[in-house]
Structure 1
Amino acid sequence: MKDGSKLFDRFTRDSTFLEYTISKNKLCINSSPIHKTNESCLDFKLENNTLRTSQYSKYVIERISNDTLIMYQQVDNLTDDKIKRFFFIRDELLLSYYKQKNINKKHIKASKEFTPKTSSTIEIDLNKAFKDNYSNFRVAGNFKIFPKEKRIKTSITYSTKQDSARIKTIKKIIDHSFDKWNLRNFEEYDSVELSFVFDSEITKIYRGVKVIFFTDDVNEFEVVYTGNLENNRKSFDYFNKAIKAYEKKDYIKAIEYFSESYKLDPKNLDALYNKAAVYFESGDQNNACKTWKEISNLGQINGKELFTNNCNLN
């Protein structure tokens, strides 16, 4: 974050892929390492060291060089502990790093930062293949692209259903996708391996398939697509209950509800901050300091300052 705090964002993780493209007057963000399917763009106006994207929001450039860029997003009424700071490196530098890392290798495993890209999404072809014949099942596997042989070989390592027909369809679609892959920078390798998980789902409101690359954990779908929405909803409810209890000066209940809110959603640091504040206001400095120390240990600068300024360090 801008104040130096560790990022706590329920929509962004250490493994999240984000690719920023900055042109003359447009800032585009792509979240897919394989294909720019989810790219969103913002128009901006360059004003000295800022990229203004709206009346209330802008990106401020802190440092720029030939291969790196540091900037933060400034939004009206947001404090520094909630403002994100971004550290960028040029994709050419990243490419050079991975080329050097894989020097003299013939068989490599692709990653989000170093992978061939497709001209169209494989999900489209898979959806067309299954049409209205969806069912609820998941598979995990990998496929190898052989640039010199111009072919792909798919292997399925796990399936929630022993459905040979559907598994055969998945393998056929991927095996026949060679022409969709841009293999620039990968021609020198004998094989490039990509792991993936596949999800077919049919409910009252949704039917379709999804694919996540660079993992063999089918539980990744809960993380990427839901993030445990039910727990987040319950956390929000407990947070509101805590506020109401605090307004009634029922500090014990307020602390209990803030604790439950944070337990259900560990990304909700506001629940911890409020819990500490209620402890402090009710005269329980010892537990307030324990909570501020917990926040500080999570890499939050404001929590560290509150602990330093209000707690006996001896």
Structure 2
Amino acid sequence: MYKILTFLFISTQIFAQTFKQKIIDEWVKDNISLYDGSPILKDDIRNMQLRYTFMPNDSFRVTINGKTGESTYKVKNDTLYFGKDIAFKIERLDDIKLVFRAINLDSVSQSKALRFSFIPARFHNLGFTPQTYRTKGQDTIYVSKHNYLEPFFMDADRSASQFISDNFFFPEYKAGNFYTRFIITKQGEVKGIEVLESTHENYNKQLIKAIKSTAGKWKPAVWDGKPINTEINMGFDMGWSEKMSLKSGESIAKKDTIDENESNYYLMQGNIYVEAKKYTLAIKELTKSIALDPLNIDAYYARAAVYALTKDVQKMCVDLQQLKNMQQAKGTALWNKFCQDKKNQK
């Protein structure tokens, strides 16, 4: 008995150690889906640029849309822990793919959990050849390319452009356009700042000062395993495009904006009415939620449930059909179970 327990313990340790060895790499997001494999419909999540760099010293670096932070991680059995409270189940880890999904969540949150799929950065970069040039001092400079080759801006809350804009004291009542270049050296220093284009040259010094204020927040880009000098080109449109459009008489099409917070507010109100068994009011609130955000999957599920409770199968099937059209696994399964036969009978 003790021999079996010892064997199991040693096997588990070897298994975890193997995962730890394999995860040490730089990984770039390949796909994000819901817990059950259903696709993400929100553009800001689906198009998120995300990469992890796991290091041997139990630390990792994560970059999300140009914002970079660092923390610690550990691998225990087949579970990846970030810090103390965040845990992910490793579903696949080999030379070409890393897949993990959120765990240790309650049943409600679990259905909204995300599954992340990554590929090694070396595969993501296949076919990409960086542009380079040499300075008079014969230093090699690589030209940065977003999500392929770029230095790390160490700020978990703001990207480099957001940080610079926040520190660029340009009057709000003015409109301006600026285009800059600067170098992040292999030591992480900010050098060679230039304003290449400017509509208000008297503010160029303020912009240069704002770029200098990023000193100490950079870590150099890495290519072929070595830190490199990187040129960054960055534009700052301070209301200029809008001003030029108005000046030329062009009409600016107002973008249809979705207020997700307001949609979720009506979803919450609808769920409160469901608990109170006030189904007519619940449907009214959930319909408002869907009108504000036609991609609010939770609102469709909630309204379909209310229709089921009120025995309005036809309307329930309409909502389940919408979820099926949005390729939601649970919604598709429910439609197949309760609605498919009714459709065939018509």
Deviation at 1:2, TM superposition (A): 2.8
Letter in 2 for 1:3: D
Equivalent in the alignment of 1:135? 172
Measure the CA separation in 2 of the matches of 1:167 and 1:103: 27
1:63 is aligned to 92
Counting only pairs closer than 5 Å after superposition, residues 106-255 of structure 1 correspond to structure 2 as 111-117=145-151, 121=160, 130=169, 134-135=171-172, 142-143=179-180, 165-166=202-203, 169-170=206-207, 194=233, 196-198=235-237, 231-255=259-283
Post-superposition Cα deviations, 1:241-281, rounded to whole Å, max 9, x if no partner, equal: 32343345443332121021133244532111111111122
Q: Is the 8 A contact 2:99 2:116 kept in 1?
A: yes
Gaps of 5+ in 1: 201-218
CA RMSD of aligned residues (A): 4.5
Question: 1:50: which partner in 2?
Answer: 79
Shift of 1:288: 0.8
Instruction: Give the Cα separation in 2 of the matches to 1:77 and 1:171.
Output: 49
1:256/1:139 CA distance change after superposition, 3 Å: farther
User: Which amino acid in 2 is paired with 1:61?
Assistant: I
Query: Is 1:73 the counterpart of 2:107 in the alignment?
Result: no
CA distance in 1, matches of 2:201, 2:180: 17
Letter in 1 for 2:203: R
1:273 partner SS:
helix
Maintained 8 Å contact 2:195/2:204: no
How big is the shift at 1:286? 1.2
1:31 aligns with 2:31: no
For residues 270-304 of structure 1, the C-alpha deviation after alignment (integer angstroms, 9 at most, x for no partner) is: 11111111112212211111111111212211111
Shift of 1:124: 5.6
TM-score (norm 2): 0.59
Q: CA deviation at 1:155?
A: 5.6
CA distance 1:70–1:119, shift in 2 (3 Å): closer
Match of residue 52 from structure 2:
20
Does residue 280 of the first structure (1) align with residue 308 of the second (2)?
Answer: yes
Cα 1:88–1:136 shift into 2, 3 Å? farther
| Contact 1:59/1:71, CA 8 A, preserved across alignment | yes
Aligned to 1:205: none
Alignment partner for residue 90 of structure 1, among 120, 128, 142? 120
**Conserved? CA contact 2:167–2:210, under 8 Å:** no
Q: How many residues align?
A: 266
Q: Distance in 2 between matches of 1:52 and 1:119?
A: 24
Query: Structure 1 residue 91: deviation in Å?
Result: 1.7
Structure 2: stretches of 5+ with no match in the other structure:
1-33, 133-141, 155-159, 185-190, 225-229, 240-251
Give the TM-score of the pair, scaled to structure 1: 0.64
Q: Secondary structure at the match of 1:39?
A: strand
**CA positional deviation for 1:41:** 2.0
Q: Partners in 1 of 2:264 and 2:153 — Cα distance?
A: 41
In our comparison, the structure showing a higher alpha carbon Rg is 2
What whole-Å deviation, never above 9, does each CA across 1:51-105 have from its counterpart, x for those lacking one?
2347764222222222321221213324654221111112222233322xx799x
- Specify the alignment match of 1:215 in structure 2: none
Q: Secondary structure at the match of 2:46?
A: coil
Match of 2:128, SS state, is helix
Residues 102-123 of structure 1: per-residue CA shift (max 9 Å, x gap): 799xxx9964322332678466
Shift of 1:305: 0.8
How many angstroms apart in 2 are the aligned matches of 1:244 and 1:62? 36
CA separation of 1:135/1:50 partners in 2, compared to 1, >3 Å: closer, same or farther? same
Mapped partners of 2:119, 2:321: distance in 1: 34
- Structure 1 SS opposite 2:289: helix
Q: What secondary structure, in the 3-state scheme, does the structure 2 residue paired with 1:96 have?
A: coil
Contact kept? 1:154, 1:174, Cα under 8 Å: no
Contact in 2 for aligned 1:129/1:169 (Cα 8 Å):
yes
- Report % sequence identity: 19
Shift of 1:310: 0.8
Distance 1:22 1:136 in 2: 45
